[in-house]
A and B are shown apart, each in its own frame.
Chain A
Amino acid sequence: GENVEQHPSTLSVQEGDSAVIKCTYSDSASNYFPWYKQELGKRPQLIIDIRSNVGEKKDQRIAVTLNKTAKHFSLHITETQPEDSAVYFCAASKTAGNKLTFGGGTRVLVKP
């Protein structure tokens, strides 16, 4: 089955700096890669996703890049703000069945 590894497990950045989280996946058939943000005590919420026919996608301060050949994808947060502090999860799935496999999560702390 699919295996998703996520690094780093914790990330501390100064407000205004950029944060980068990287994930690798094992199943070359995976073609959908969402990123979820989970604030303390709350449910995971989708922040951005990318499909395998696209190499990069941006949404304001958030961007995701995908390298299908190397089987890795990354989340980039620019101009970080204290409200970006949360746990971020990457995930991977194939189109059929929507079975999502999650990475282990990255706890991001943005210091003011």
Chain B
Amino acid sequence: EAQVTQNPRYLITVTGKKLTVTCSQNMNHEYMSWYRQDPGLGLRQIYYSMNVEVTDKGDVPEGYKVSRKEKRNFPLILESPSPNQTSLYFCASSPILGSQPQHFGDGTRLSIL
């Protein structure tokens, strides 16, 4: 089954404790992206990657890091989480050629205390 898998689905943690949210897709997609979703603000792009070892900032990259060492994986790293990063996070992937719909993961709800 074609899917985008995020882990963990839920996490409560404390300020300053480094965390990683993993994202994996099994569709051989080149393009992967991270979004955060906050009430009233819709979905905002954090980082995206057009292929292995190619990443770029989205609209709200501050406080986040990503890496793309393998085509299927695109982890989101919060080196020193802060309460304003409490949000619902989605990973998505799509083929790079042409205009193709993005497939979203089930989301990760992060609470930073």
Contact = CB atoms under 8 A, between A and B. Distances in A.
B96 interface: yes
Given A93-B99, A98-B99, A99-B58, A43 B44 contact: no
Contacts, number: 59
Contact of B104 (A9, A45, A97): A45
B94 to A, nearest CB: 5
A44 B99 contact: no
A31 B98 CA distance: 10
Contacts of A103: 42
Interface string B31-69: 101010000111111001010000000110000000000
A43 B106 CA distance: 5
Nearest to A50: B99
Interface residues of B, number: 25
26 contacts: A32-B99, A34-B101, A34-B102, A42-B107, A43-B104, A43-B106, A43-B107, A44-B90, A45-B104, A49-B99, A51-B99, A95-B98, A95-B99, A98-B48, A99-B45, A99-B58, A100-B33, A100-B45, A101-B45, A101-B59, A102-B35, A102-B42, A102-B43, A102-B44, A103-B42, A105-B42
Interface of B: 31, 33, 35, 40-45, 48, 50, 58-59, 90, 94, 96, 98-102, 104-107
